[in-house]
Protein backbone atom coordinates (compact mmCIF):
# COMPACT_ATOMS: atom_id res chain seq x y z
CA UNK A 1 0.00 0.00 0.00
CA UNK A 2 1.41 3.33 -0.94
CA UNK A 3 2.30 5.63 1.81
CA UNK A 4 0.62 8.96 1.30
CA UNK A 5 2.83 10.62 3.87
CA UNK A 6 6.06 9.48 2.28
CA UNK A 7 4.75 10.44 -1.12
CA UNK A 8 3.51 13.83 0.00
CA UNK A 9 6.88 14.96 1.28
CA UNK A 10 8.65 13.69 -1.82
CA UNK A 11 9.91 16.32 -4.25
CA UNK A 12 12.51 16.15 -6.97
CA UNK A 13 14.83 18.19 -4.80
CA UNK A 14 14.66 16.21 -1.65
CA UNK A 15 14.99 12.92 -3.47
CA UNK A 16 18.72 13.43 -3.56
CA UNK A 17 19.96 15.75 -0.90
CA UNK A 18 21.97 16.07 2.28
CA UNK A 19 24.81 13.81 3.21
CA UNK A 20 23.57 11.17 0.81
CA UNK A 21 24.90 13.36 -2.04
CA UNK A 22 28.34 13.40 -0.51
CA UNK A 23 28.33 9.66 0.08
CA UNK A 24 27.11 8.89 -3.42
CA UNK A 25 29.67 11.17 -4.93
CA UNK A 26 32.43 8.74 -4.05
CA UNK A 27 30.66 5.83 -5.70
CA UNK A 28 30.65 4.76 -9.31
CA UNK A 29 28.21 2.47 -11.00
CA UNK A 30 30.32 0.54 -13.47
CA UNK A 31 29.19 -1.68 -16.18
CA UNK A 32 31.03 -4.93 -15.96
CA UNK A 33 30.96 -5.19 -19.69
CA UNK A 34 31.99 -2.98 -22.47
CA UNK A 35 29.53 -0.29 -23.25
CA UNK A 36 29.01 1.97 -26.19
CA UNK A 37 29.29 5.59 -25.19
CA UNK A 38 29.52 8.82 -27.02
CA UNK A 39 32.03 10.58 -24.88
CA UNK A 40 34.91 9.40 -22.83
CA UNK A 41 34.08 8.28 -19.51
CA UNK A 42 34.71 5.68 -16.86
CA UNK A 43 33.29 2.71 -18.68
CA UNK A 44 35.17 0.38 -20.92
CA UNK A 45 34.30 0.87 -24.52
CA UNK A 46 34.14 -1.88 -27.09
CA UNK A 47 36.16 0.34 -29.27
CA UNK A 48 39.88 0.06 -28.80
CA UNK A 49 41.81 3.23 -28.67
CA UNK A 50 45.18 4.42 -27.71
CA UNK A 51 44.72 5.79 -24.31
CA UNK A 52 46.72 4.98 -21.24
CA UNK A 53 45.14 1.65 -20.48
CA UNK A 54 47.05 -1.12 -22.25
CA UNK A 55 44.82 -3.87 -23.47
CA UNK A 56 46.81 -6.42 -25.52
CA UNK A 57 49.33 -7.24 -28.30
CA UNK A 58 48.24 -8.57 -31.60
CA UNK A 59 49.89 -9.73 -34.78
CA UNK A 60 50.67 -7.10 -37.32
CA UNK A 61 48.67 -7.29 -40.50
CA UNK A 62 49.38 -5.54 -43.67
CA UNK A 63 47.72 -2.13 -43.77
CA UNK A 64 48.04 -1.56 -40.02
CA UNK A 65 49.53 1.75 -39.07
CA UNK A 66 53.15 1.33 -38.20
CA UNK A 67 52.94 3.89 -35.44
CA UNK A 68 51.22 1.29 -33.26
CA UNK A 69 54.02 -1.25 -33.75
CA UNK A 70 55.71 -2.27 -30.52
CA UNK A 71 59.29 -1.80 -31.44
CA UNK A 72 60.60 -3.16 -28.25
CA UNK A 73 59.07 -6.52 -28.98
CA UNK A 74 60.34 -6.35 -32.56
CA UNK A 75 63.80 -5.56 -31.19
CA UNK A 76 63.76 -8.59 -28.93
CA UNK A 77 62.00 -11.13 -31.09
CA UNK A 78 62.13 -9.70 -34.59
CA UNK A 79 58.41 -10.09 -35.01
CA UNK A 80 55.85 -7.36 -35.64
CA UNK A 81 53.17 -6.84 -33.01
CA UNK A 82 50.63 -4.11 -32.77
CA UNK A 83 50.14 -2.67 -29.28
CA UNK A 84 46.45 -2.04 -28.49
CA UNK A 85 44.99 0.12 -25.73
CA UNK A 86 41.55 0.09 -24.14
CA UNK A 87 39.19 2.97 -24.76
CA UNK A 88 37.07 4.30 -21.85
CA UNK A 89 33.72 5.88 -22.59
CA UNK A 90 30.57 6.92 -20.90
CA UNK A 91 27.54 4.61 -20.76
CA UNK A 92 23.82 4.73 -20.76
CA UNK A 93 22.16 3.75 -17.50
CA UNK A 94 18.64 2.57 -18.20
CA UNK A 95 16.40 2.19 -15.19
CA UNK A 96 13.39 -0.01 -15.73
CA UNK A 97 11.00 0.22 -12.80
CA UNK A 98 8.11 -1.97 -11.96
CA UNK A 99 5.20 0.29 -11.03
CA UNK A 100 2.59 -2.35 -10.62
CA UNK A 101 0.35 -2.20 -7.59
CA UNK A 102 2.19 -4.95 -5.78
CA UNK A 103 5.01 -2.46 -5.43
CA UNK A 104 2.81 -0.26 -3.31
CA UNK A 105 2.89 -2.80 -0.47
CA UNK A 106 4.22 -1.30 2.66
CA UNK A 107 5.04 -3.37 5.69
CA UNK A 108 5.69 -2.00 9.10
CA UNK A 109 8.24 0.49 7.83
CA UNK A 110 7.88 4.02 6.57
CA UNK A 111 8.47 3.21 2.90
CA UNK A 112 6.59 1.06 0.52
CA UNK A 113 8.45 -1.00 -2.01
CA UNK A 114 7.68 1.62 -4.63
CA UNK A 115 8.90 4.50 -2.49
CA UNK A 116 12.01 2.56 -1.82
CA UNK A 117 12.52 1.97 -5.53
CA UNK A 118 11.93 5.63 -6.38
CA UNK A 119 14.59 6.70 -3.93
CA UNK A 120 17.05 4.07 -5.04
CA UNK A 121 16.44 4.93 -8.69
CA UNK A 122 17.04 8.61 -7.93
CA UNK A 123 20.39 7.69 -6.41
CA UNK A 124 21.26 5.64 -9.45
CA UNK A 125 20.36 8.53 -11.70
CA UNK A 126 22.37 10.88 -9.61
CA UNK A 127 25.40 8.61 -9.72
CA UNK A 128 25.05 8.40 -13.50
CA UNK A 129 24.75 12.15 -13.72
CA UNK A 130 27.89 12.62 -11.66
CA UNK A 131 29.85 10.39 -14.02
CA UNK A 132 28.40 11.97 -17.09
CA UNK A 133 26.59 8.81 -18.06
CA UNK A 134 23.37 9.06 -19.95
CA UNK A 135 20.36 7.81 -18.05
CA UNK A 136 16.83 6.94 -18.95
CA UNK A 137 13.74 5.81 -17.07
CA UNK A 138 11.09 3.35 -18.15
CA UNK A 139 8.17 2.44 -15.89
CA UNK A 140 6.08 -0.57 -16.67
CA UNK A 141 3.34 -2.71 -15.30
CA UNK A 142 1.46 -4.59 -17.97
CA UNK A 143 3.13 -2.42 -20.48
CA UNK A 144 5.24 0.71 -20.55
CA UNK A 145 3.64 3.33 -18.39
CA UNK A 146 6.19 6.06 -18.77
CA UNK A 147 9.43 6.41 -20.64
CA UNK A 148 12.01 9.17 -20.49
CA UNK A 149 14.77 8.78 -23.01
CA UNK A 150 18.44 8.92 -22.14
CA UNK A 151 20.17 12.16 -21.45
CA UNK A 152 22.91 13.32 -19.15
CA UNK A 153 22.19 16.89 -18.41
CA UNK A 154 21.21 18.33 -15.14
CA UNK A 155 17.97 19.34 -16.68
CA UNK A 156 17.41 15.80 -17.75
CA UNK A 157 18.11 14.68 -14.24
CA UNK A 158 15.47 17.03 -12.93
CA UNK A 159 13.05 15.81 -15.51
CA UNK A 160 13.57 12.24 -14.52
CA UNK A 161 13.33 13.02 -10.84
CA UNK A 162 10.06 14.82 -11.43
CA UNK A 163 8.84 11.85 -13.37
CA UNK A 164 9.78 9.60 -10.49
CA UNK A 165 8.00 11.75 -7.99
CA UNK A 166 4.97 11.96 -10.15
CA UNK A 167 4.77 8.28 -10.82
CA UNK A 168 2.38 6.16 -8.80
CA UNK A 169 2.17 2.43 -8.46
CA UNK A 170 -0.87 0.77 -9.85
CA UNK A 171 -2.22 -1.92 -12.06
CA UNK A 172 -1.25 -5.48 -12.56
CA UNK A 173 2.06 -6.79 -13.70
CA UNK A 174 2.90 -8.50 -16.91
CA UNK A 175 6.57 -9.07 -16.92
CA UNK A 176 6.68 -10.52 -20.38
CA UNK A 177 4.95 -7.63 -22.10
CA UNK A 178 5.99 -4.89 -19.73
CA UNK A 179 9.65 -5.74 -19.68
CA UNK A 180 9.71 -6.53 -23.35
CA UNK A 181 8.31 -3.13 -24.21
CA UNK A 182 10.49 -1.42 -21.68
CA UNK A 183 13.66 -3.08 -23.00
CA UNK A 184 12.84 -2.67 -26.65
CA UNK A 185 14.31 0.87 -27.07
CA UNK A 186 17.60 -0.09 -25.44
CA UNK A 187 19.79 -0.80 -28.41
CA UNK A 188 23.19 0.31 -27.28
CA UNK A 189 25.26 -1.62 -24.89
CA UNK A 190 24.89 -0.02 -21.54
CA UNK A 191 23.87 -0.67 -17.98
CA UNK A 192 20.28 -1.58 -17.35
CA UNK A 193 18.95 -1.55 -13.79
CA UNK A 194 15.61 -3.26 -13.22
CA UNK A 195 13.76 -2.42 -10.03
CA UNK A 196 10.98 -4.85 -9.27
CA UNK A 197 9.65 -7.25 -6.68
CA UNK A 198 9.74 -9.92 -9.41
CA UNK A 199 6.51 -11.59 -8.33
CA UNK A 200 6.50 -14.03 -11.18
CA UNK A 201 8.25 -17.20 -12.04
CA UNK A 202 11.96 -16.47 -11.94
CA UNK A 203 12.76 -18.16 -15.22
CA UNK A 204 10.02 -16.28 -17.03
CA UNK A 205 11.27 -12.94 -15.80
CA UNK A 206 14.91 -13.64 -16.35
CA UNK A 207 14.26 -14.92 -19.82
CA UNK A 208 12.92 -11.48 -20.79
CA UNK A 209 15.72 -9.62 -19.07
CA UNK A 210 18.29 -11.93 -20.60
CA UNK A 211 17.52 -10.50 -23.99
CA UNK A 212 19.15 -7.25 -22.88
CA UNK A 213 22.15 -9.15 -21.78
CA UNK A 214 22.33 -10.92 -25.02
CA UNK A 215 22.37 -7.59 -26.74
CA UNK A 216 25.41 -6.73 -24.70
CA UNK A 217 23.99 -4.65 -21.90
CA UNK A 218 24.99 -5.20 -18.36
CA UNK A 219 21.89 -5.84 -16.32
CA UNK A 220 21.36 -5.47 -12.62
CA UNK A 221 18.18 -7.00 -11.25
CA UNK A 222 17.28 -5.05 -8.14
CA UNK A 223 15.01 -7.46 -6.32
CA UNK A 224 13.06 -5.34 -3.88
CA UNK A 225 11.18 -6.94 -1.08
CA UNK A 226 9.64 -5.85 2.15
CA UNK A 227 10.75 -7.78 5.26
CA UNK A 228 7.10 -7.92 6.31
CA UNK A 229 6.11 -9.88 3.28
CA UNK A 230 8.95 -12.29 3.66
CA UNK A 231 7.20 -13.70 6.71
CA UNK A 232 3.57 -14.30 7.48
CA UNK A 233 3.68 -12.72 10.83
CA UNK A 234 0.02 -13.13 11.67
CA UNK A 235 -1.48 -15.15 14.51
CA UNK A 236 -5.06 -15.41 13.46
CA UNK A 237 -6.81 -16.41 10.34
CA UNK A 238 -6.30 -13.67 7.79
CA UNK A 239 -7.83 -12.73 4.49
CA UNK A 240 -5.10 -11.71 2.07
CA UNK A 241 -6.09 -9.43 -0.78
CA UNK A 242 -4.10 -9.42 -3.93
CA UNK A 243 -3.07 -5.84 -4.74
CA UNK A 244 -3.17 -6.48 -8.43
CA UNK A 245 -6.34 -8.52 -8.78
CA UNK A 246 -9.65 -9.06 -6.97
CA UNK A 247 -8.37 -12.39 -5.77
CA UNK A 248 -8.20 -13.02 -2.08
CA UNK A 249 -7.00 -15.91 0.02
CA UNK A 250 -8.20 -16.77 3.47
CA UNK A 251 -5.73 -18.84 5.41
CA UNK A 252 -4.43 -19.50 8.83
CA UNK A 253 -0.95 -18.00 8.57
CA UNK A 254 0.31 -20.24 11.33
CA UNK A 255 -0.28 -23.21 9.13
CA UNK A 256 1.71 -22.03 6.14
CA UNK A 257 4.19 -19.68 7.65
CA UNK A 258 7.11 -21.98 7.38
CA UNK A 259 6.28 -23.07 3.84
CA UNK A 260 5.69 -19.48 2.83
CA UNK A 261 9.02 -18.32 4.13
CA UNK A 262 10.67 -21.20 2.46
CA UNK A 263 8.96 -20.36 -0.80
CA UNK A 264 9.93 -16.72 -0.48
CA UNK A 265 13.57 -17.52 0.05
CA UNK A 266 13.41 -20.09 -2.71
CA UNK A 267 12.02 -17.49 -5.08
CA UNK A 268 14.83 -15.07 -4.29
CA UNK A 269 17.37 -17.81 -4.71
CA UNK A 270 15.80 -18.89 -7.96
CA UNK A 271 15.94 -15.32 -9.22
CA UNK A 272 19.55 -15.04 -8.24
CA UNK A 273 20.50 -18.29 -9.84
CA UNK A 274 18.65 -17.46 -13.00
CA UNK A 275 20.27 -14.03 -13.22
CA UNK A 276 23.72 -15.36 -12.63
CA UNK A 277 23.07 -18.13 -15.06
CA UNK A 278 22.26 -15.58 -17.74
CA UNK A 279 25.27 -13.53 -16.86
CA UNK A 280 23.85 -10.54 -15.07
CA UNK A 281 23.81 -9.40 -11.55
CA UNK A 282 21.10 -9.77 -9.01
CA UNK A 283 20.75 -8.15 -5.65
CA UNK A 284 17.99 -8.35 -3.15
CA UNK A 285 17.17 -5.05 -1.54
CA UNK A 286 15.24 -5.14 1.65
CA UNK A 287 12.96 -2.17 2.12
CA UNK A 288 14.27 -0.23 5.03
CA UNK A 289 13.91 3.30 6.19
CA UNK A 290 17.59 3.98 5.40
CA UNK A 291 17.05 3.15 1.77
CA UNK A 292 20.50 4.23 0.59
CA UNK A 293 22.32 1.78 2.79
CA UNK A 294 21.58 -1.44 0.91
CA UNK A 295 22.03 0.23 -2.45
CA UNK A 296 25.32 1.83 -1.58
CA UNK A 297 26.59 -1.37 -0.10
CA UNK A 298 25.78 -3.13 -3.31
CA UNK A 299 27.46 -0.42 -5.41
CA UNK A 300 30.54 -0.50 -3.21
CA UNK A 301 30.69 -4.23 -3.53
CA UNK A 302 30.31 -3.99 -7.27
CA UNK A 303 33.07 -1.43 -7.45
CA UNK A 304 35.34 -3.80 -5.61
CA UNK A 305 34.52 -6.56 -8.03
CA UNK A 306 35.06 -4.39 -11.09
CA UNK A 307 38.36 -3.06 -9.85
Partner 1 sequence: MHFLAPTFFAAFCALAAIPLIIYLIFRRRKRNVPWGAMFILRRTLDKHSRVKVWKQYAIIAVRTLAFLALPLAFMWPYLRWKPPTDGSFPPPPSSTHRLIILDVSPSMDAVYARGTCMDAAWSLCRKALAAGVFPGRLDILPMDGTETPFVFDRFPANHAAIESFLGQIGRNSTPANLETALRYALRTFRASHEKNKELYVFSDFGAKDVRDLNVLAGLFRSFRRQGARIFFLSYENPQLNNFAVLDFTAQMDLLLQGQPTMFYAVLGYFGAQPVAETWLTINNQDGETLYEEVLSLAPGEKTVTIPLTLKGKERMLTASVKKDDFSNDNAIQRGYRVSDSLRLLVIQGINLKSGFENPKEWLELVFAAPGEKSSLSPLQVSSESKPESSQSTKLGGRYQVHVDFASAVQINPAQFEDTDGIILLDVDSLSEAQVDALRLYVLRGGTVLLAPGPQTAPDKFNATFLPITPIGLEAPAQKEIDPDRYENAILEKTSDLMLKEIETPQHGNIGNARFYNYYRVDANKMAKGAEILFTLSNEAPLLFYRPLGRGACLLWTAGLGMDWNSMVVHPVFPVFFSRLFNIAAARRKFALNLAPGAPIIYRLAQGAGKETVIRRPDGRRVTLQAELVGGAWFARYDDTLMPGMYRLQPDPADESDFLTYTVREDKHESDYRPITKEQQQALEQASGARFCLSERDMFESVGAVYTGRPLASWLACALFFLLLLEAGLARRWFA
Distance CA 177, CA 29 (A): 28
CB of 214 to partner 1, least distance (A): 26
Distance CA 143, CA 139 (A): 8
Which CB atom, from 167 or from 173, has the smaller least distance to partner 1? 173
Segment 40-44 long-range contacts (CB within 8 Å, at least 24 positions apart): 40/87, 40/88, 40/89, 40/90, 41/88, 41/89, 41/90, 41/91, 41/131, 41/132, 41/133, 42/88, 42/90, 42/131, 43/88, 43/89, 43/90, 43/91, 43/133, 43/191, 44/86, 44/87, 44/88, 44/89
Region of 8 on the Ramachandran plot (φ > 0 left; ψ -120 to 50 alpha; else beta): alpha
Query: Among 21-29, 54-62, 100-108, 158-166, which window interacts with partner 1 (CB under 8 A)?
Result: 100-108
In eight-state DSSP terms, residue 26 is T
Contact between 259 and partner 1 per CB under 8 A: yes
CB of 282 to partner 1, least distance (A): 17
In eight-state DSSP terms, residue 215 is T
Which CB atom, from 41 or from 294, has the smaller least distance to partner 1? 294
CB atoms within 10 A of CB 281: 19
Query: Among 19-27, 69-77, 96-104, 292-300, which window interacts with partner 1 (CB under 8 A)?
Result: 96-104
Residue 243's nearest CA partner among 175, 139, 141, 145 is: 141
Contact between 39 and partner 1 per CB under 8 A: no
Query: Among 119-127, 147-155, 179-187, 226-234, which window interacts with partner 1 (CB under 8 A)?
Result: 226-234
Contact between 269 and partner 1 per CB under 8 A: no
Helix (H, G, I), strand (E, B) or coil at 282: strand
Which CB atom, from 184 or from 255, has the smaller least distance to partner 1? 255
Query: Among 3-11, 52-60, 188-196, 261-269, which window interacts with partner 1 (CB under 8 A)?
Result: 261-269
Contact between 238 and partner 1 per CB under 8 A: yes
Q: Which of 151, 180, 264, 286 binds partner 1 (CB under 8 A)?
A: 264
Answer for the pair 170, 99: CB distance below 8 angstroms, yes or no.
yes
Q: Which of 86, 98, 200, 218 binds partner 1 (CB under 8 A)?
A: 200
Contact between 214 and partner 1 per CB under 8 A: no
Contact between 243 and partner 1 per CB under 8 A: yes
- DSSP secondary structure string, 139-155? EESSSEEEEEEEE-SHH
Q: Which of 177, 256, 303, 306 binds partner 1 (CB under 8 A)?
A: 256
Contact between 103 and partner 1 per CB under 8 A: yes
Residues near partner 1, by CB under 8 A: 1, 102-105, 113, 197, 199-200, 225-226, 229-230, 232, 234, 236-245, 247-252, 254-260, 263-264, 267
Amino acid sequence: MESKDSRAELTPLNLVEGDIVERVRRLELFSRFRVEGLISGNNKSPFRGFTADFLQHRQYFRGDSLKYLDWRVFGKREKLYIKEYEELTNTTVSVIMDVSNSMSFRGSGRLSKFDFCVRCAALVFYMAFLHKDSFSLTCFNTGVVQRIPAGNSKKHLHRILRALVGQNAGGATDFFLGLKEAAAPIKRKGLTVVFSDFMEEAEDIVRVIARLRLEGSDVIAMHVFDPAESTLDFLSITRFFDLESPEMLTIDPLLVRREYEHEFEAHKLAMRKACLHHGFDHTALSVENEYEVPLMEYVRHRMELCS
